[in-house]
Amino acid sequence: MRNKRAYIKPVLESETFVPQNYIAACGDLNKMYKFKCDAGSGVSGDVYLETNGKEGFQEGGFLGWGGDRYLSSYHACGITHEASTTDDFLDGYYITGSGRNKKVIPVKVWRGPNNDNTHCTENLDMDSWETVKS
């Protein structure tokens, strides 16, 4: 007697592709933030970087006593800057006055294209900043 083979219908099996890593192939390339250097509305003051890990401004960083670190004097230039989304934007404080008249304003600090300048904005929500392609 002859061996009979049973017909088996072909079945296509598929898998759903689930990416494991995010890679910005082209969407974030050359993307720039636009923000206005406007902290303090033109009043001269000083900028300190949030460096001690404690919430709020703590004095003493200039002398190395565990406070936030002094960066530079500052006067808003009022210019809308374009900065790469890969640049460092630092948390800091813009300070005017002294004693009872001291005013502390949280700011985002950008050090400029050569990392040698101080530009600040009071708009801390970077997700709300306008972005453009360079």
Residue 4: predicted pLDDT: 76
Q: Give me the mean pLDDT over the 15-30 stretch.
A: 63
Predicted pLDDT of residue 109 = 95
29 pLDDT tier (thresholds 50, 70, 90): low
Q: Which amino acid is at 51?
A: T
Read off the pLDDT of residues 33-89 as tens digits, 9 standing for 90 and up.
999 999 988 889 999 999 888 888 887 755 556 678 889 999 999 999 999 999 999
- In this prediction the pTM is 0.71
**Sheet strand arrangement including 80-84:** 80-84, 31-36, 130-133
For residue 119, count other CB atoms closer than 10 A to its CB: 23
For the residues 9-37, what does the mean pLDDT come to? 73
Q: Residue 41 carries which side chain, given as an amino acid letter?
A: S
pLDDT digits (tens, 9 = 90+) for 75-133: 999 999 999 999 999 999 999 988 888 899 999 999 988 889 999 999 999 999 999 88
